[in-house]
């Protein structure tokens, strides 16, 4: 059996359509009559759709799939599944069922597909869900992911755009996986850096979501294709600003040197084009700028948590770190200023 | 000129191919890269801007773009002896803080990258402003393009002489003066070597690098 996926052009969340292009298309879709039970839909740019089915139960739906960004099929299956499941956790929900989404060339060794789906199934189980079916089509290239259904209490939905001034911003995974994968694609990444990126991408956001459910989370999203700044921009929602301390941001160390070598993705540049007008950098190195725009596959949760007399954000951070997550408080939300995002 | 065909290549491959071509030049010269999308043009331009290469790009036809980079003499030399990473430098320096005085490092006769004429004017302003500080640095190191600053025709010679008079140690890299044929033109301070440069930088309480 061949244990490498033959093609690997630029997979993971780097394969996402650029945010600018996408919103132009979405704006033109016919909307239909409003339904008050659709709690989160297209309009909100949130991570998943939420539909209320009873007073205390809402269904969370999401789907995500992409081409491989690693050679090993089992690892790819794990990453694609962890990435798709993450949207449920980012909404504060629990995973119920998942369906496989598969594109696979007919000429390719079916054992490769078996390995991909085994990796995915393992992650669905770990997430506490049931793999209930799927759909596959013959295609020129490999693509894999999941359609996931979860459940959430309508009163406890984590919106991605409801932070309040004074909230502390917590990030639960290191940035830089897109750059490390890009470096790996051209044979420039060290084995250690790639291992760290893979461990980060296969890790579920389940633990982070479970721990944070004990705290008053005002806003939450998972950092994926639009990069840290792109998702932060959506979180500020045109109403607020934030001050980010780049020195506190967890980063895969080698990603800095790969960025200095310009081993950058096209998607990172698309993110820069989309969001740079909202960002003011103060004394930031070129490499760090790139890491902040870097598209993340299966990235961490970005949460806005109050930090009043209860010191909730600090306590949450302590719990997250105690659970072994490389989490950090990376900045603070403030009332709107000239620019939306200040990075110092 | 070296031509690079990166049509059909996904980022970062066009950048990697172009970097290899620049290495092949082994000095100043031109590299032309063909790519098939605007984003690749932007990523190449970003690299050129960071490296200080002159860069031009144009759309030749639908799905075909040409990016032309000119690698100047100084940038080619700069690539050979890569400058120390400033982030690493910062962390080293904080540990050593207050152990010694401030060391100012001038590695070019221009300040920042972009327009050269602006860069020269900024450097002139920097040296002047430096000479006006209450707390003067203990040492100023000049190397590579910075070596031009301590010679007879330097526009900041007077500022440097006045700082030397105040007790500031002014050291210029001898290899660099020799390289630019300026050995006989040194007009302020002493000639130094790499050992001293390394020592001054490692023991500095604080490094300032415009």
For B10-20, what is each residue's pLDDT tens digit? 889 999 999 99
| pLDDT score recorded for residue B96 | 35
CA atoms within 13 A on the CB side of A47: 35
Cross-chain Cβ contact A269/B46 below 8 Å: yes
Nearest by CB: A186 against B12, B37, B46: B12
| pLDDT score recorded for residue A103 | 96
> Of all residues in chain A, what percent are helix, strand and coil, respectively (each to 5)?
40, 25, 35
3-state secondary structure of B185: helix
Tokens of A12: 């993971």
Decide if B39 touches A, using CB distance below 8 A. Answer: yes
Is residue A160 situated within a structural domain? no
- Tens of pLDDT, residues B48-97: 999 999 999 999 999 999 999 999 988 787 665 444 444 444 443 333 33
Q: Based on the fold, state whether residues B55 and B89 are members of the same structural domain.
A: no
Q: Based on the fold, state whether residues A324 and A253 are members of the same structural domain.
A: yes
CA atoms within 13 A on the CB side of A49: 15
Decide if B91 touches A, using CB distance below 8 A. Answer: no
Does residue B129 have a pLDDT over 80? yes
The ipTM value here is 0.82
Segment B172-196 mean pLDDT: 88
Is residue A6 situated within a structural domain? no
| pLDDT score recorded for residue A151 | 97
Q: Based on the fold, state whether residues A269 and A240 are members of the same structural domain.
A: yes
Distance of alpha carbon B19 from alpha carbon B45, whole angstroms: 12
| pLDDT score recorded for residue B135 | 84
Decide if B87 touches A, using CB distance below 8 A. Answer: yes
**CATH number of the CATH domain containing A255:** 3.90.650.10
Q: Based on the fold, state whether residues B50 and B91 are members of the same structural domain.
A: no
Examine residue A82 and say whether the peptide bond preceding it is cis (omega within 30 degrees of 0).
no
List chain A residues with CB under 8 Å of B40.
266
Radius of gyration of chain B (CA): 20
Decide if B33 touches A, using CB distance below 8 A. Answer: no
Decide if A10 touches B, using CB distance below 8 A. Answer: yes
- Rounded to two decimals, the pTM is 0.72
Q: How many domains does chain B have?
A: 2
Q: Based on the fold, state whether residues A174 and A122 are members of the same structural domain.
A: no
Does residue B35 have a pLDDT over 90? yes
Decide if B209 touches A, using CB distance below 8 A. Answer: no
Q: Which residues make Cβ contacts (< 8 Å) with residue A88, sequence separation at least 6?
A: A48, A60, A62, A94, A95, A127, A148, A150
Segment B16-36 mean pLDDT: 93
Q: Find out whether A10 and B40 touch, Cβ atoms under 8 Å.
A: no
Cross-chain Cβ contact A263/B37 below 8 Å: no
Q: Based on the fold, state whether residues A60 and A174 are members of the same structural domain.
A: no
Distance of alpha carbon B200 from alpha carbon B210, whole angstroms: 17
3-state secondary structure of A181: helix
What percent of chain B has a predicted confidence (pLDDT) above 90?
53
List chain A residues with CB under 8 Å of B19.
261-262
Q: Based on the fold, state whether residues A214 and A138 are members of the same structural domain.
A: no
**CATH number of the CATH domain containing B203:** 3.40.1260.10
Q: Which of residues 248-267 of A touch B (CB under 8 A)?
A: 256-257, 260-266
Question: CA nearest A283 in B: which residue?
Answer: B87
Q: What is the DSSP letter of A45?
A: T
Does residue B158 have a pLDDT over 80? yes
CA atoms within 13 A on the CB side of A28: 4
Q: How many domains does chain A have?
A: 2
Distance of alpha carbon B17 from alpha carbon B23, whole angstroms: 10
Q: Of B7, B11, B89, B155, which one is the catalytic site residue?
A: B11
Does residue B120 have a pLDDT over 50? yes
- Mind telling me how many Å the CA of A287 is from chain B's nearest CA? 10
Q: Which domain holds residue A37?
A: 12-154
| pLDDT score recorded for residue B80 | 53
Q: Based on the fold, state whether residues A192 and A122 are members of the same structural domain.
A: no
Cross-chain Cβ contact A285/B86 below 8 Å: yes
- Tens of pLDDT, residues A142-185: 999 999 999 999 999 999 999 999 999 999 999 999 999 999 98
Q: Which of B58, B77, B96 is the last residue of a domain?
A: B77
What percent of chain B has a predicted confidence (pLDDT) above 70?
89
**CATH number of the CATH domain containing A63:** 3.30.1330.10
Segment B143-155 mean pLDDT: 92
**CATH number of the CATH domain containing B37:** 3.30.110.40
Looking up tokens 């998943």, which residue turns up?
A48
Looking up tokens 């690997």, which residue turns up?
A8
| pLDDT score recorded for residue B82 | 46
Q: List the strands of the sheet with A301-305, edge to edge.
A: A219-222, A301-305, A168-171, A328-335, A240-244, A341-343, A279-281
Cross-chain Cβ contact A265/B12 below 8 Å: yes
| pLDDT score recorded for residue B195 | 80
Nearest by CB: B43 against A185, A261, A264: A264
Catalytic residue at A13?
A: yes
- Supply the DSSP string of A194-263, one letter for each residue: HHHHHHHHHS-SHHHHHHHTTS--SEEEE--TTHHHHHHHHHHTTTEEEEE-GGGS-B-HHHHHHHHTT-
3-state secondary structure of A103: strand
Q: Which of B77, B97, B113 is the last residue of a domain?
A: B77
Q: Which domain holds residue B151?
A: 84-208
List chain A residues with CB under 8 Å of B53.
none
Nearest by CB: B10 against A10, A183, A262: A10
| pLDDT score recorded for residue B200 | 87
Q: Which residues make Cβ contacts (< 8 Å) with residue A25, sequence separation at least 6?
A: none
Question: CA nearest A259 in B: which residue?
Answer: B47
Q: Based on the fold, state whether residues B70 and B97 are members of the same structural domain.
A: no
Is residue A1 situated within a structural domain? no
Cross-chain Cβ contact B16/A264 below 8 Å: no
Cross-chain Cβ contact B12/A270 below 8 Å: no
pLDDT, tens digit only, all 344 positions of chain A: 334 444 344 566 566 676 677 778 888 888 888 899 999 887 667 778 999 999 999 999 999 999 998 989 999 999 999 999 999 999 999 999 999 999 999 999 999 999 999 999 999 999 999 999 999 999 999 999 999 999 999 999 999 999 999 999 999 999 999 999 999 989 999 999 999 999 999 999 999 999 999 999 999 999 999 999 999 999 999 999 999 999 999 999 999 999 999 999 999 999 999 999 999 999 999 999 999 999 999 999 999 999 988 899 999 999 999 999 999 999 999 999 999 999 99
Cross-chain Cβ contact B16/A9 below 8 Å: no
Q: Which of B13, B46, B77 is the last residue of a domain?
A: B77
3-state secondary structure of A40: strand
């Amino acid at each position: 059996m061949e244990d490498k996926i033959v093609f690997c052009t630029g997979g993971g969340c780097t394969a996402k359509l650029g945010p600018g292009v996408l919103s132009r298309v979405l704006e033109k879709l016919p909307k239909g009559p409003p339904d008050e039970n659709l709690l989160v839909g297209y309009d909100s740019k949130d991570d998943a759709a939420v539909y209320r089915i009873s007073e205390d139960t809402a269904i969370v739906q999401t789907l995500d799939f992409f081409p491989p960004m690693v050679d090993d099929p089992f690892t790819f299956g794990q990453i694609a599944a962890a990435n798709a499941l993450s949207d449920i956790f980012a909404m504060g929900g629990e995973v119920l069922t998942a369906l496989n989404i598969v594109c696979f060339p007919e000429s390719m060794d079916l054992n490769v597909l078996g390995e991909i789906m085994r990796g995915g199934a393992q992650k669905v189980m770990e997430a506490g869900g049931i793999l209930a079916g799927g759909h596959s089509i013959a295609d020129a290239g490999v693509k894999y992911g999941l359609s996931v259904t979860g459940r959430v209490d309508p009163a406890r939905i984590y919106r991605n755009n409801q932070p309040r001034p004074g909230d502390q911003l917590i990030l639960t995974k290191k940035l830089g996986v897109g750059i490390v994968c890009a470096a790996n694609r051209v044979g420039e990444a060290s084995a250690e850096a790639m291992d760290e990126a893979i461990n980060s991408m296969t890790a579920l956001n389940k633990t982070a979501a479970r721990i944070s459910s004990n705290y008053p989370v005002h806003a939450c999203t998972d950092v994926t294709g639009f990069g840290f700044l792109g998702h932060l921009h959506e979180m500020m929602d045109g109403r607020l600003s934030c001050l980010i301390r780049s020195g506190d941001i967890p980063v895969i160390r080698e990603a800095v040197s790969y960025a200095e070598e310009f081993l950058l993705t096209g998607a990172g540049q698309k993110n820069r084009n989309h969001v740079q007008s909202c960002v003011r950098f103060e004394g930031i190195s070129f490499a760090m700028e790139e890491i902040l725009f870097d598209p993340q596959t299966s990235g961490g949760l970005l949460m806005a948590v109050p930090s009043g007399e209860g010191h909730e954000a600090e306590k949450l951070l302590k719990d997250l770190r105690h659970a072994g997550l490389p989490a950090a408080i990376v900045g603070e939300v403030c009332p709107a200023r000239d620019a939306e995002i200040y990075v110092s | 000129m070296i031509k690079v065909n990166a049509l059909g290549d996904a980022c970062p491959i066009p950048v990697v191919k172009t970097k290899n071509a620049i290495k092949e030049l082994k000095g100043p010269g031109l590299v032309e890269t063909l790519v098939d999308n605007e984003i690749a043009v932007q990523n190449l331009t970003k690299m050129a801007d960071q490296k200080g290469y002159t860069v031009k790009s144009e759309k030749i036809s639908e799905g075909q773009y040409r990016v032309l980079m000119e690698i100047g003499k100084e940038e080619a030399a700069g690539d050979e002896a890569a400058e120390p990473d400033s982030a690493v430098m910062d962390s080293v320096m904080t540990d050593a803080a207050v152990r010694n005085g401030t060391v100012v490092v001038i590695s070019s006769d221009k300040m920042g990258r972009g327009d050269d004429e602006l860069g020269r004017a900024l450097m002139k302003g920097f040296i002047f402003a430096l000479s006006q500080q209450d707390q003067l640095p203990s040492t100023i190191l000049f190397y590579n393009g910075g070596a031009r600053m301590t010679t007879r025709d330097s526009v900041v010679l007077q500022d440097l002489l006045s700082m030397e008079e105040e007790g500031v140690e002014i050291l210029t890299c001898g290899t660099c003066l020799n390289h630019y044929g300026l050995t006989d033109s040194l007009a302020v301070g002493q000639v130094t070597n790499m050992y001293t440069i390394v020592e001054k930088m490692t023991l500095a309480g604080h490094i300032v690098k415009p």
